[in-house]
Structure 1
Amino acid sequence: MSLFTILLGGELVATPRLRRQIAGTRVIAADAGIAHATMLDVLPELWVGDFDSVPANLPTELAKVPRQTFPPEKDMTDGELAVAVARERGATALVLAGAFGGPRADHAFLHLTLALRLAEMGVGVILSSGAQEGIPLLPGSAGYDYDDETLFSILGFSDLDGLTVTGAKWPLTSVEVPFGSSLTISNQVKGKLEIGLAQGRAMLLVHPYPEF
């Protein structure tokens, strides 16, 4: 597996969990996302974007990172371009750091849908702000390593059929969840969280660091 971290321009906290997830990964920064590099103690191998949001007073080592420049008027965001470049360089799994929050809600929503599309292509994806993270859910089952009482939600991006959740305060057994339902919002881990889905697409949103 070739794991890359993409530094995006959203909110980010350098939690121990995030540091473990990005340890030893190759790093590409998307425009303003390079501002997170110092906090995470990483040096990107490439800086991608139109550079309309370059942070002021960058440390010398970051200002010297090789750039791949794109015009401001383009048909992909800087984040999607960075993901595409990582894929060209062999990425089979991605951590999208800084995928939530920030001044543009449309970009945050795009990161969720982009992650689902990548997952359908067989690419492993974790979206993270450090304080919270997202994992695409497609048909199949998987287990997750979260502590007891960790808050989580399952956000459906379609009707969900055969959704089973165990290791939770409110377990579910092969239920149907209509698109737009709040049934799967605000649950808590209780034991070993496992989620199975027969049909549909969703995002597991988890808050491992509720203090942030």
Structure 2
Amino acid sequence: MTSFTILLGGDLVRTPLLERQVAGTRVIAADAGMAHAATLGLVPELWVGDFDSVPAHLPPALAAVPRQTFPAEKDKTDGELAIGTALERGATALVLAGAFGGARADHAFLHLALALRLAEAGTEIVLSSGAQEGIPLLPGKPRAFDYADGTLFSILGFSDLSGLSVEGAKWPLDEVEIAFGSSLTLSNEVKGGLRVTLGGGRAMLVAHPHPQSEG
């Protein structure tokens, strides 16, 4: 497995869990995402973008990172270009650090949707801000999570969902149908070992890791 961390321009805080996720990965920064390199103690192998939002006062080691420059008027975001470059370099697993929040809600939505598409194509992927993380759910592939009891989580549906089961939660579900846009799967809590099974549709689990999960 070849793992890459993509530094994106959203919110990010350094946590022990995120440190473990990025440890030993190759790193590519997308434009303003370079600001997170110092936070995480990383030096990317490449910096991708149109460089219209370059962080000020970069340490010399980060300012010297090789750049791949694109025009401002392009048909892909800096983040998508950085992800594409990682895939070209053999990435089979991705950590999208800084994928949530930030000034651009449209970019954050793209990161969620793109992550689902990549997961469906076989790429292992996690999105993280440190404070929260997203993991795509694939139909027919039950998924267990090692979050501590009390961890808040939601399941975001990007379509109608069928056969959704949630075990080890305060509010369990047993092969339910969820209409697109329903809030039924928001704001649940881990209770006894979370396991999620999706029969059909497109969905992502978004969790706010409890401090006990960080250890």
Q: TM-score range by the shorter chain?
A: over 0.9
2:181 is aligned with 1:180: yes
Preserved CA contact (<8 Å) 1:29 1:44: yes
Give the secondary structure class of the aligned counterpart of 1:62. helix
- One-letter amino acid of the counterpart of residue 121, structure 2: M
Query: d(CA) in 2 for partners of 1:52 and 1:82?
Result: 15
**1:209, distance to aligned residue in structure 2 (A):** 4.8
Which residue is equivalent to 2:209? 208
2:199 maps to 198
Distance 1:13 1:56 in 2: 19
TM-fit CA distance, 1:127: 0.4
Q: How does 1:6-155 map to 2 (within 5 A)?
A: 6-139=6-139, 140-155=141-156
1:169 partner letter: K
Unaligned runs of 5+ in 1: none
Deviation string 1:89-119 (CA, Å, 9 cap, x unpaired) is 0000100000001110000000000000101
- Determine helix, strand or coil for the equivalent of 2:156: strand
Cα distance in 2, alignment partners of residues 101 and 122 from structure 1: 26
Query: What 5-or-longer segments of structure 2 have no aligned partner?
Result: none
2:3–2:26 CA contact under 8 A, matched in 1: yes
Q: What is the CA–CA distance in structure 2 between the aligned matches of 1:209 and 1:33, rounded to whole Å?
A: 25
1:153–1:135: structure 2 CA closer, same or farther, 3 Å change rule?
Answer: same
Structure 1 runs (4+) deviating above 2 angstroms are: none
Q: For this pair of structures, how many residues does the alignment match?
A: 210
Letter of the 1:183 partner, please give it: L
State the one-letter code of the partner of 1:19.
Answer: E
What is the TM-score with the length of structure 2 in the denominator? Answer: 0.96
2:151 and 2:57 map into 1 onto residues whose CA distance is 38
| Native 8 Å contact 2:5 2:26 kept in 1 | yes
Partner of 1:118, secondary structure, is: helix
Structure 2 Cα separation of the partners of residues 142 and 11 of structure 1: 26
Residue 3 (structure 2) aligns with: 3
TM-score normalised according to structure 1 size: 0.98
2-structure distance, mates of 1:81, 1:68: 10
Tell whether the 8 Å contact from 1:28 to 1:47 is kept in structure 2 after alignment.
yes
Separation of aligned partners in 1, 2:8 and 2:60: 20
SS, match of residue 82 in structure 1: helix
CA RMSD of superposed structures (Å): 0.8
